[in-house]
Amino acid sequence: MRWVWPLPALAAWAAAWGLFIGLQRAEAGALPAFGLAALLGIVLSVLGSTRWRRLFIAVGFPFSLAASGLAGTLPAWAWLMPLALLLLLYPLNAWRDAPLFPTPQGALRGLHALVPLPDGARIVDAGCGLGDGLLELRREYPRARLLGLEWSWPLRLACAWRCRFATLRRADIWAEDWSGADLVYLFQRPESMARALAKARRELRPGAWLASLEFAVPGTSPDARLEAVPGKPVWLYRAARH
């Protein structure tokens, strides 16, 4: 479901405030209540459709708490906690890519028909986040070997819990070798796509595939295209056969 902005922000802030007030009433203490509510706001920042909207959602609760006058019991250093949590979830070097773009349910439906792969094929989800892409890939290729690459270790741990069928590795997708993959799937940014195709052409063996959700490579014709979810096309590029 797509929420019209600013509904995602309002929902995230309401949830964070609800948790904060609930913990306060349960006498959990101001500092734990603040930390957990701030963490919830950061986690819910995935509802934002752009980088700046995610940041806006993440900092909304701390800013609103400061403006409310209810923060007098917090020590000064506590205001660094949301920033530390944000950097923990989204390390600085990961912001050059897409911090967290979950793959919509059903977006890869029918991919196996366009890109048939043998049993035991190796599929890499480059930037797997919370594992939504891996779940979709498993539905299409139930007998494949799935590998998820994710730089943020909290996201990697959450993904490992959700996707126990896959191998998860904390890794920089640009430094990782893609040469053993039959299919590399990613959901990045438009600015990343030329770099991704160049890496695929250098490293993928002939006949292997690069699949990009939503964003095509500028100036390059895809070998195939799939659009199972309206507005979310999958662009497919095949490594050249020698």
- Torsion, CA 173, CA 175, CA 176, CA 178, rounded to 10: 90
Domains plus CATH for the chain? Answer: 7-89 (no CATH), 111-238 (3.40.50.150)
β-partners of residue 169 are 149
Which tokens in the block code for residue 54? 């995610």
**DSSP symbols for 26-90:** TT--HHHHHHHHHHHHHHGGGG-SSHHHHHHHHHHHHHHHHHHT--TTS-GGGGGHHHHHHHHHS
Task: Classify residue 211 by burial, with Cβ atoms within 10 Å: 0-12, 13-18, 19+.
Answer: buried
Distance CA 33, CA 105 (A): 33
Check residues 202 and 157 and name the one with the higher pLDDT: 202
pLDDT 10s digits, 172-212: 999 999 999 999 999 988 888 999 999 999 999 999 999 99
Longest dimension (CA), the chain: 68
The answer to whether residue 129 scores a pLDDT higher than 80 is: yes
pLDDT 10s digits, 24-53: 889 888 888 888 888 888 888 877 766 677
What residue has token string 């920089």? 172
Strands 224-229 and 232-238: antiparallel
The answer to whether residue 215 scores a pLDDT higher than 90 is: yes
The answer to whether residue 158 scores a pLDDT higher than 90 is: no
pLDDT 10s digits, 59-99: 888 888 877 766 656 666 665 666 666 666 665 455 555 55
Phi, psi torsion values for 229, nearest 5 degrees: -115, 125
Q: In whole angstroms, what separates CA 20 from the centre of its chain?
A: 26
So what's the pLDDT on residue 242?
46
210 C-beta neighbours (distance < 10 Å), count: 27
Distance CA 66, CA 32 (A): 16
Check residues 35 and 106 and name the one with the higher pLDDT: 106
pLDDT 10s digits, 109-126: 999 999 999 999 999 999
> Coil, strand or helix: which one is 210?
strand
So what's the pLDDT on residue 61?
85
